Structure formats: structure tokens, C-alpha cells
Amino acid sequence: MDEHLPWHEPLWRQIQERRAVGRLPHALLLGGPPGLGKLSFACRLAQALLCESPGAAGDACGQCRTCRLFRAGSHPDYSRVQPEDEQKSGEGDSSAGDTGSGKKKKSKVIKIDQIRDLCAFLDHTAQYGGYKIALLEPADQLNVNAANSLLKTLEEPPGACVLLLVTARPARLPATVRSRCQLIRFDRPATEQALPWLTARMTGDLDPATVLDVAAGSPLVALSYAEGDRWRRRRELADGYDRMLTGRLDPIQAAEQWMQGDLAENLRWLIGWHTDLIRLKMNPEPPRLSHPDLSPWLRRWTARQAPRILFERLDAVVQLYTLCTTAQVNAPLLLEAFLSEAAGDDQSGVQKTSV
């Protein structure tokens, strides 16, 4: 994305002011919620720092030799580090074992070998005589050994180099790494700034303010809801959930519906709804809901249950999400069990309230 996002501008100016007086930190930790464009900011900064004739606002010219190399992904003084597959129970980093046999649990991490390569890269003099730039994203995926091997470079950076660590979860980085970086904190923009930006980019008949609410104020997340079929999926799931709770859809069929598409996202919706149910139970007119457009359904669901059950169900959904996203489990089975219990609770809840 080449567009400059309006909510970035104060941070951009701060960094450029520091650069102008020669006080640019050698390690920046770009942290804040997802959907704010932290990575595009980091790329913009990397290109600007490498550019041979940046403009008045500090941006890259886009024309010079180094800008062309940067865009082609072949600038010799720029290195981007991304997580690689790791075999959970394997012996280190060998890739030779990956023959596709058996089911090996893989997770994505930034490994120590990648960081050693990066430190060697930073140790060499810049080929174009300017900065050497490293971009690590998502930086919270540094494994422990990789983070430790980065410490020395963070402490005694070799020459003119800038490390850009991008993460939506700064707290997951070791404190030793965090304390050696200057935090650049990205906050969700004010609605007055986010809404016009979003409205100008949304097509179709969805209400931008509602989509922005459901995206918790993150404009890029909101735009992705509006552009793809995620919004429609969410409504379908809510409709299915309603039919299941009122005995019109079998929990097993409902589980099949939940297993379609991105299960982690589906379960995040479910967590959001259940959080809203508790908000509504505590206060029928809560100051905000995560899913205001689903309010009629949410109100119906919350009316059917005692607070204790709603809290228990939220716990169960969070647990379901954690299990399904971090462990090797039989997700359809767990989902069926959860949905059957929720449907059962609601049927008995109705009987109780009607007695």
C-alpha cells in the first residue's frame, strides 16, 4: 500500500524531526493494534531512509536508483525478516526432514539462524553508503534464542543501521528486547478521522460507522470486512446461531457451518457476541457494543439466560478459541460439544423462564 494513512502523520513527523537533528533511534518498535498499517509505515520509513533524495516531508522520492531497488525488493542494504516454519518436536532448524511424511506440527517463528544472518548483514558496511535497514515482522514471533542473539546488536548497533520491529503484540517480546527499542505506539484513530477515510473507500450499501465499530475502530480491518465476504459470513453465522438456540437448527449442522472459512475468525466473532451478551445483561443500554448491528439477536439471546450461564459460556468460547488455534485438537468435535451445550442451556432456559 503506497497510500499515506492520515493517522500516521503525527508519528511520521515525530520521526522525521528526530532524523533531522540526527537523533533517530537505531531500533524502533512499532506496536499497536492490528489494522492500523504499521507494516506499511515501516516500509515507508525504510524506503525513505534509503532514498538518495527524499522530499521535504522526509518521504522517498520514488525515482532514484535506491528507490527502484527497494521497490524491486533487491536493495542490498535492506533486509526483511519474516517467520519461517518450525517443526515443533524436531531437532532445530534442518529443513531436510520436511518430506511431507506424517503430520508434523509446524508453527511460524523467527529463528536464531535468521537473526545470526541478519547481524552478519548489519555488520557489513552499507553498499550505498547510507543506512542499513532491517525490518522484522511480526517481531513477536522471535523465538527465545533468536531474541537473545539480537540483544547485542540492539545494544551496540554496528554503524548507521536502523532496526524496525513491527508487532501487534509488543508485550510478547522479551522485556530485554523491548527496553532496547524506542516504542512508536500506534493508536486507533479518532472516529472523526477514521470514518471519512473509510467512507471514501467503501462501496455497496453497508454502513461505514457500523463496520468501523465491529472492527473496533481499526480502519484497515473495517475495509477488509467491507470488501470481502467476511461481513456476510458473520451475519450467516449469527443467523445460524439464532436458529440453533431456538431449536430450529441442529447443533451438529451448526458446527459444520462454523467449520467453514476461517475458524479462528469465526470463533473471534463468537467471543465478541458473548462479550456483548454480558454487557447487555449488566446494562440493557450499554455505552457500546462490539456488534451493534446484531443488537436484536443479541438482546434476544441475553434475555434467555442467567448471568452465570453467560459468563460460563464466554469462558467456554475463549477456551474453545485457545484450543482450536494453538493445539492439535478435534475442532469439529469440540465445537459440536460447545454448541450442543449452548443449545441445551437455551432450551432449558426457555422452559425455566416460561414457568
Tell me which residues touch Zn ion (CB under 5 A).
51, 60-61, 64, 67
Q: Please report how close the Cβ of residue 46 comes to Zn ion at its closest, in angstroms.
A: 12
> What span, in angstroms and rounded, lies between the C-alpha atoms of 154 and 163?
8
Q: Please report how close the Cβ of residue 63 comes to Zn ion at its closest, in angstroms.
A: 6
Q: Please report how close the Cβ of residue 334 comes to Zn ion at its closest, in angstroms.
A: 52
Quick one: 28 or 67, whose CB is closer to Zn ion?
A: 67
Quick one: 130 or 292, whose CB is closer to Zn ion?
A: 130
- Residue found by looking up cell 493445539 in the block: 327
Pairing of strands 132-136, 78-81: parallel
Task: Collect all residues with Cβ–Cβ distance below 8 Å to 202 and sequence separation of at least 6.
Answer: 208, 211, 223, 226
> What span, in angstroms and rounded, lies between the C-alpha atoms of 219 and 222?
5
- Burial status of residue 87 (CB atoms within 10 A of its CB: 0-12, 13-18, 19 or more): middle
Following CA atoms 115, 117, 119, 122 in sequence, which dihedral angle do they give, to the nearest 10 degrees? -130
Q: Using omega within 30 degrees of 0 as the cis cutoff, is the peptide bond preceding 138 cis?
A: yes
Quick one: 48 or 136, whose CB is closer to Zn ion?
A: 48
Q: Please report how close the Cβ of residue 64 comes to Zn ion at its closest, in angstroms.
A: 3
Q: Please report how close the Cβ of residue 52 comes to Zn ion at its closest, in angstroms.
A: 5
Please say whether the dihedral angle defined by the alpha carbons of residues 146, 36, 133 and 62, taken in this order, is positive or negative.
positive
Beta bridge partners of 108: 85
Quick one: 61 or 126, whose CB is closer to Zn ion?
A: 61
Spatial contact of 76 and 69, defined as CB atoms under 8 Å apart: yes
Q: Please report how close the Cβ of residue 78 comes to Zn ion at its closest, in angstroms.
A: 13
Quick one: 131 or 197, whose CB is closer to Zn ion?
A: 131
Following CA atoms 309, 314, 316, 320 in sequence, which dihedral angle do they give, to the nearest 10 degrees? 160
Q: Please report how close the Cβ of residue 128 comes to Zn ion at its closest, in angstroms.
A: 11
Quick one: 60 or 289, whose CB is closer to Zn ion?
A: 60
DSSP 3-state assignment of 107?
A: strand
Quick one: 47 or 266, whose CB is closer to Zn ion?
A: 47
